[in-house]
Chains A and B, each alone.
Chain A
């Protein structure tokens, strides 16, 4: 069967209305705005209310992406949601979102590759369209990590909540669209970034709560070293699968893990640091949502234009890391600020 060319034909993004600024954290914990900025680059992050959950952010983002692509929910054939914080352990966030959208003709599931999840899901979604199995696929990256971090642990100040969504469809053969992917994993080092309890190994119990096992474990040194290496590896490997070199790339939209990551990586790649799209100062690290939120803002701020060669890079728990290379094919009719829920 002939392989089809696949493009992003619509994009949406949504963050919670509620802002948690460094000034708020200063008042609640023994930490300074200056310390958080220097260590992470984050100035404020948006966090859900007690009542909100992942699908509350994903559904508005999805509706916006569908409207941008001119699609009705009933026309969707598959929804794949990258998340590690679904509304419930089961059913999947994908099914929850499918139901709330009224996408009655779509299959739906989740994909968990932590912060790499959106790029992984984009790779899977692309193949579903490229193969001819489906014409209209929705790929979502959405996480509400604020409910799972320990706000007395400084590592928590990195994080925020959000959702982003893209529609994938076949596009004209002479276009490039989504060109190639690299997906990596090293489960043997999974323990450097982990939520110990709440799964089938250690189900939630009074004991796990008393032992503090529902707080993420994150080794700062190992995580930063892994992240820097993973960004390099994903960019170099995905480029090596194409005729392009780093000089041909117009914009890199990375997972927003920590602002401190981009200067060394730009130095090693021999590129100006502003080739990386960075918005971590306003949203923090939004896990699987950070890449689609970055794409959304880059497009709506005019940094990303039709015809640009774009590289996506992401890395996270697993360990997992992923890269994508694409020729940007979508331009919005109007420029919009990111949605708030």
Chain B
């Protein structure tokens, strides 16, 4: 139809597009090809690996709970309420997206470290954060919260405010509108934001190793385990990387409907 009218896609577009696909595909395919399939199960069942996997899963989930509790109200505020400094706050939310994660780790140390702005008073109370799983959750939340907030704010903006207004006309108070109208309408966006943030948490490396340290079972998440193993046992590192790759694919499958479904339309 329209394809015939427009003619064949030109080679000078097809070629770079093909190269782009190759650039993304070749390293991933090589990773799979290099995996030690013979000893894969045995390697993945090693206690350190299971510890790292479990730690990664629960800290990423805890970070998403924190993102939900803190990020949903913030996203709502940004989408629905006019307030001075709103664009400033929105910019602030995007900073961790572009900040190198190691820098995020250093920043977290200066805030929550034992001599940090918040960390020093906490230490007086007998609480130290670095080298604990709590530090991992804080690092994950710091880097993943922007993904969640931006995703949810977009979803809130996409759903019309008219429904909120109708509910208000019918006598609902703003808190009730938020709970019973706004959030249900934005639920798919909230779910997508959670999955996206969760995936970002799972891949977090720089901020975690800088701020939380690296100890098996306590702060050594999957990416840290891969990096540590890489020093001595490439095959084991590849085996672990394969698990991370698998998780990424599952996350993409979960998000497919939302993203690729829309893009195809």
A and B interact: no
Residues of chain B having any CB pair with chain A under 8 Å? none
A-side interface residues toward B, CB under 8 Å?
none
